[in-house]
Amino acid sequence: MKMNAVLFGGDARQLEISRILLQSGYRVWMVGFEKSEKVYGADHIQVSELKNIPIDLFILPVSGVKKGGEVEASYAGGPLVLTKEIAALLTETCMIISGIHTPELTNILKREICFLFDREDVAIHNSIPTAEGTLLLAMQHTPFTIHRSNVVVIGFGRVGLTTARLFRQAGAFVKTAVRETGKFARAVEMGLDPFYMEEINAYMEQADIIINTVPSLVITDEVIQHMNKTGLIIDLASLPGGTDFEAAKKAGVQAIHALSLPGKTAPQTAGKILGRVIVDAAREWKKERGL
């Protein structure tokens, strides 16, 4: 018996996810894709039709659920909203998947949710298109080459590490801001130039490009005042980001909040990554529950 998967909103990544699900034997229903291409084998439906489907897998966009229950829906004919009425249709045997956690999501769905970006496999795979998209942005918004430019990467987690490596491979002089001794040692091993976060102000004046991956305020007004005013900030952290964007604007420093780069610069690859992980996660989830 085929399992029913519902994709509730999203962007071009969802088109690839739907193909992976279909290949894996799911029947796929897509809500909020009126303006997208038709994926062969998938059914495009309206919200009102959800009540007619026994849902086994309910997939929300990578960005989760925003204020008021609205979800990202790049191909929808209008706003797409996750309501408590829709939540009531999702039984205990239905697995719910979101990219990230948001307060609104857990308020509407008061139950277990699989957050893709909490998974190590997703975060590592997804760091590749994120780093490539960051490099593209840096090239588009600077009048100089990345080669021999001074780049500071703040945070040395999965995205920070991949991004620092890519910029170094492009010929940049890369410094990394870290908090832990282990990550300091790893950066040295990779041929990078690490420093501790407390020293950040001392490294700002010479930075041509600053890339933040930390999801808390680290590029403060004080940090910005130490920057070279021709420098570029690219903030990769999820909302609200790790940069005081208002302070950057007042100081005349260009700051870009680069959200969802994989979906914008490499949606096919990003969708394939997520699709494969979703299939594996759903199999694990159902096996654990004997379904």
Q: Cα separations (Å) of 56 from 49, 64, 154, 177, 282?
A: 15, 19, 40, 43, 9
Percent of the chain with pLDDT over 90: 82
Q: Are strands 70-71 and 80-81 parallel, antiparallel or unpaired?
A: antiparallel
Q: Whole-angstrom Cα distance, residue 66 to residue 198?
A: 33
Percent of the chain with pLDDT over 70: 100
Tens digit of pLDDT for each residue in 150-173?
999 999 999 999 999 999 999 999
Tens digit of pLDDT for each residue in 91-112?
999 999 999 888 899 899 888 9
The dotted CATH code for 4-118+266-288 is 3.40.50.720
Average pLDDT across the chain, whole number: 93
pLDDT above 70: residue 142: yes
pLDDT above 90: residue 37: no
pTM for this prediction: 0.84
* Vertex 55 angle, CA 49 and 56, to 5°: 160
At 178, the pLDDT band (50, 70, 90 cuts) reads very high
The pLDDT of residue 238 is 85
> Matching CATH topology for 4-118+266-288 and 126-259?
yes
Q: Is 286 helix (H, G, I), strand (E, B) or coil?
A: helix
Q: Which CATH superfamily is domain 126-259 in?
A: NAD(P)-binding Rossmann-like Domain (3.40.50.720)
What is the residue extent of each domain of the chain? Answer: 4-118+266-288, 126-259
Tens digit of pLDDT for each residue in 19-34?
999 999 999 999 999 9
